[in-house]
Every structure is written in structure tokens, then in C-alpha cells.
Amino acid sequence: MANMFGMMKQMRDARRLQKELESQTFEAKNSDGTVVVVARGDMTIKSLKIDPKAIDPARPERLAQAITSAANSALDGAKRAAAANVQKLAGSLGSLKDMLGG
């Protein structure tokens, strides 16, 4: 029965870490700060801000590159946080392995 309680605790811990991650945001800017992207820990984009100075109708690819770069950086921050949470969870799974006789 102790094994069952231990497994239930592991599941609660995993849900708690997931909720924590979902509530976190990660902001990134392009090199000149004219594009700002905020990503959530669940790997979705929360917001995108574009300074009008970044909009040059003659060079739309420049804006696209700035948005892509900032979005990737923000999502990278979310991925790093998710990986850290997985590490925390993996550390506690060692005790689960012991409980299961592994």
C-alpha cells in the first residue's frame, strides 16, 4: 500500500510541475529590441509586440527574421524550463523505481 501512496505522490508532483511550467512566461527580443515575443511554458506564444520602426515595406523578410528569431529564443527559454522540471521529476522517479522493486 505504501507503494501506491508513493506513486500517487509522484503523479501529484508531476501535475504540480506541469502547472508551474504552464504559468511561467519567457520573454525574448530580437537584437535591436524592436520585436518582443512572450512564450508560455506550454510552448505557446502569449504575445508579440512589434515596434513600428521594425516595419520596412521594402524589406518584409527582415521583419519575418526578427519575429522568428525572437519567437525561437522565447520558446527556447520555455524548453529549458521544461527540461529542468523533467530533471526534478526524474530525480524523484528514482524513489518510484525503488518502490516498484526496480
Buried b (16+ CB within 10 A) or exposed e, 2-33: eeeebeeebeebbeebeeebeeeebebbbeee
Enter the C-alpha cell of residue 18. 506541469
Q: Give the mean model confidence (pLDDT) for residues 50-58.
A: 96
- DSSP 8-class letter at 33: S
Q: Which CATH class is domain 25-99?
A: alpha beta
Note whether 74 and 45 are within 8 A (CB). Answer: yes
The residue that leads in pLDDT, 26 or 88, is 26
pLDDT band at 22 (very low <50, low <70, confident <90, very high): confident
Q: Considering the chain, what percentage of its residues have pLDDT values greater than 90?
A: 55
Task: With 0.95 as the threshold, say if the pTM is over it.
Answer: no
| Structure-derived torsion over alpha carbons of residues 70, 62, 35, 31, reported in degrees to the nearest 10 | 70
Note whether 24 and 40 are within 8 A (CB). Answer: yes
pLDDT band at 17 (very low <50, low <70, confident <90, very high): confident
